[in-house]
Chain A
Amino acid sequence: MTQAALEQKPVEEAAPERGRAFGRHYLPFAYPALAITAAVIVFPWLFTIYMSLHDWKIGQQREYVGLANFAKLATDPRFLESIGHTLYFTVLAVVLPVIFGTIAALIFNERFPLRGLLRAIFILPMMATPVAVALVWTMMFHPQLGVLNYLLSLVGLPPQLWVYEPSTVIPSLVLVEVWHWTPLVMLIVLGGLAALPAEPYESAKIDGATGWQMFRHITLPLIMPFLLVAIVIRTIDALKAFDTIYVITQGGPGTASETINIYLYLNAFSFYNIGYASAVTIVFFVLIVLLAVMLLYLRQKAKWS
């Protein structure tokens, strides 16, 4: 990015209005970033596509097989199961944080003493190192010695098997996700709440509306764009969730918490089946894009209404 390359002739003759065409001249600012992106993002993607067309295990010869990997995926029961687990996990891991995050945002939108400090504490989970926190949760989940079962016993509930039981493992992992990411939703929605105008509320109060009515008819529609941003971000992250699940259950018990990402990891780094793993990556990516696009489409519709 040298001075010379970007030097423009003096623009005193041009009017201060620059059209979109002029915008082109700003592109060189982005070239270095594009170069890095090409190396670090585009290249791996192209290579992944290349690998997915081969039957390639590390340490063995690779063999071009066209779309055979994808055909195998379509009938792979373990893969199809993993899609189910992923969707189950994602729905819970999106809906719950959005609900709790919105409530938290409403609370933090009010002014009260120590608000700054409490807000700082509230967002700590989001910033904590996932691996470290997952290890602590693993200890808390222990059926005999963990503190969670102890807390349950204090309120008279029976002890749970948490992550050691196929039927409760995904909800338990969702619990960790909710703890971890509710603050992010809170922040996004808070941004929206902060920008709300005051008049609608004043008129509503004069008309005698209750808090709930005000929320439902004024607040909710106005923050809908923000809610949708939160939903999209949460969906993408939940679909891709890895560290937490890997550390706590490695996809177990058996395959009960094996999501697509975990299955991907297994294929690539335990079975060294990188051809097959690349096919999983591509299908996975397409799935995420489809869901994200669908949600964004909903957002567009909400924007216009």
Chain B
Amino acid sequence: MADSKMNFSRRTALKVGAGAAGILAAPALMKVARAQTGGFNWKKFAGQSIEVSLTLGPRADVLRRHEKEFTDLTGIKVGSEAVPEQQHRQQVVIQFNSGNPQFDVITISWHVQKRLVGKSKWLTDMKPLLADTNLYAPEYDFPDMTAGGIRWATQADGRMDTLPLSIDPWMIYWNKELFAAKGLAFPKNFDDIVMAAEKLTDKAAGQYGWVSRGLKNANVPVWTSFMLGHDMDPVNPKTVQLQTTTPEAIAAAEYYKKLNKDFAPPGTVGFNWNESQTSFSQGKIGMWLDGIGFAPPLEDPTKSRVVGKVGYGIMPNGPKTKNSATFGDGIGIASASKKKEAAFLYCQWATGKLMASRLLQSGGGSPCRASTYSDKDVIAGLKLPREWLTCLQESTAIGRPGLPEIVPVTEFRDVFGIGLTNTIGGADARAEMVKATEQFTPILQKSEQG
């Protein structure tokens, strides 16, 4: 890694997650418990059972696959389930509001739920737990957590109500074979992307240069990926004002429209990440813009026709900056839980060094631990090509939040997502963005008051 990249990454690491080797570790301000003599007793709460609620996806997969190990280690029984994203988010609110949620541990998407959860203090503050000698396992090594991850996990009022689980930067998967056939190189900037997509599209042959999410709500990160390249955030972090009708935002929407309307397979209006993934894995798509954690099935010979042909490209330069839209997940304990201690042990295990290395190796996400990326054995055990890891590290280094940190994120995604989906059908990008902004402004204002 060149030195200049290191400096750049230092700065942006303060914003977002893990990164290249040598990244900043947790500042000394975090108080963690001293080591106990005689080693930590994981079996303190043996015999209890906890309920764990996960969002269906690569992270949940890894956790559930090794669940039995946790029970062997601690004697705590785990009842877990992985619920699809949309249902999970709805359930979360309903359950928390009942005052009696049926889970002790839950994974949270920071980019959607962080403020919602923090506002009502639905999750327990981790800081006292980390400082408790009875509960904190020294091998957990909290200072190993990256500053970015900790920042994501910490609320504005200083409570840290989750432990950092994983960061998901967005990048472009590209089909090397298709590119080579047309003598194209991986695009260097946004206009290059459009040009490549155009050259790679041959509708008669059923081949398309581009695929990305068109389904409302899920498709917003595609748009913000382009917006960030114009050095523009959807909501101004300081003034909490919408910036979605700025020329930059409209330009990003135009890119979204052009690529999805002209160069993507028919039916993308209904595509979420899994349909896009299927499409790309069939071998007739040039580029797919999405999160890096969806790579594993692409390299699985029983599922994919592009094994060994996948390129992992960092988001190219925008007109002003080079950024990768980044999102993250944390794992937390319900405030109403009656088994906080046992739940805390689970959280430590789930974000501990072993599980972090497994997460990285399986390609399911990017753990927030500095040591994972510098551990040679972990790297050697990687199930995906080295290029994937490099892309991951470099993307995180230029990471920037892809969604605004507001309370009504779901509504934001819904309102703007609809506008974006409409552009695929031919609607005018500016008109749709203006309409959506008008609709959403009062909602945002109201949420900032309450």
Contact = CB atoms under 8 A, between A and B. Distances in A.
Given a CB threshold of 8 Å, the question of whether A touches B is answered with yes
B266 A164 contact: yes
Contact of A60 (B94, B269, B450): B450
A228 interface: no
A254 interface: yes
Contacts of A144: 265, 267
B90 A269 contact: yes
Contacts of A78: 439
Given A57-B450, A58-B93, A166-B425, A254 B269 contact: yes
A271 B408 CA distance: 8
A253 B270 contact: yes
Contacts of A59: 93, 97, 116, 119-120
Contacts of A305: none
Contact of A163 (B94, B120, B270, B408): B270
A252 B270 contact: yes
A164 B414 CA distance: 17
B266 A254 contact: no
B418 A255 contact: yes
| Dominant secondary structure of chain B at its interface with chain A | helix
Contact of A254 (B90, B268, B410, B421): B421
A122 interface: no
Interface in B180-227: 214-216
Contacts of B408: 271
A269 B92 CA distance: 11
A29 B262 CA distance: 67
A171 interface: no
Given A58-B97, A252-B269, A253-B214, A270 B90 contact: yes
A164 B267 contact: yes
Interface string B60-100: 00000000000000000000000000000010011001000
A61 B450 contact: yes
Given A59-B120, A164-B269, A254-B269, A266 B418 contact: no
Contacts of B439: 78
Interface in B408-431: 408, 410-411, 414, 418, 421-422, 424-425
A76 B439 CA distance: 10
Contacts of B270: 163-164, 249, 252-253
A202 interface: no
Nearest to A267: B411
A252 B97 contact: no
Interface residues of B, number: 27
Interface size class of A (residues with CB under 8 A): 20 to 34
A272 interface: yes
| Dominant secondary structure of chain A at its interface with chain B | loop
A144 B97 CA distance: 42
Interface in A22-59: 57-59
Contacts of B418: 254-255
Nearest to A265: B90
A98 B215 CA distance: 34
A84 interface: no
B266 A143 contact: yes
Contacts of A161: 266-267
Contacts of B267: 142-144, 161, 164-165
Contacts of A249: 270
Contacts of B266: 143, 161, 164
B410 A271 contact: yes
Contacts of B216: 252-255
Nearest to B435: A77
A7 B424 CA distance: 72
A305 to B, nearest CB: 48
Nearest to B282: A144
Interface string A56-82: 011111000000000000000010000
Nearest to A269: B90
Contact of B414 (A58, A165, A253, A270): A270
B265 A165 contact: no
B93 A272 contact: yes
Interface in A180-205: none
A85 B363 CA distance: 43
Contact of A266 (B414, B421, B425): B414
Interface in A63-111: 78
Given A143-B266, A161-B266, A270 B410 contact: yes
A252 B215 contact: yes
Contacts of B414: 266, 270-271
Interface in B106-144: 116, 119-120
Would you list the 8 A-B pairs with minimal beta carbon distance, nearest first? Answer: A253-B269, A164-B267, A254-B421, A143-B267, A164-B270, A60-B450, A254-B418, A254-B422
Given A58-B97, A164-B269, A255-B216, 11 more contacts: A59-B116, A59-B120, A143-B267, A161-B266, A163-B270, A254-B421, A269-B94, A270-B90, A270-B410, A271-B411, A272-B93
26 contacts: A58-B94, A59-B120, A60-B450, A143-B265, A143-B266, A144-B265, A144-B267, A163-B270, A164-B268, A165-B267, A165-B425, A166-B425, A249-B270, A252-B215, A252-B216, A252-B421, A253-B215, A253-B424, A253-B425, A254-B421, A255-B216, A269-B90, A270-B411, A271-B410, A271-B414, A272-B93
Interface of B: 90, 93-94, 97, 116, 119-120, 214-216, 265-270, 408, 410-411, 414, 418, 421-422, 424-425, 439, 450
Interface of A: 57-61, 78, 142-144, 161, 163-166, 249, 252-255, 266, 269-272
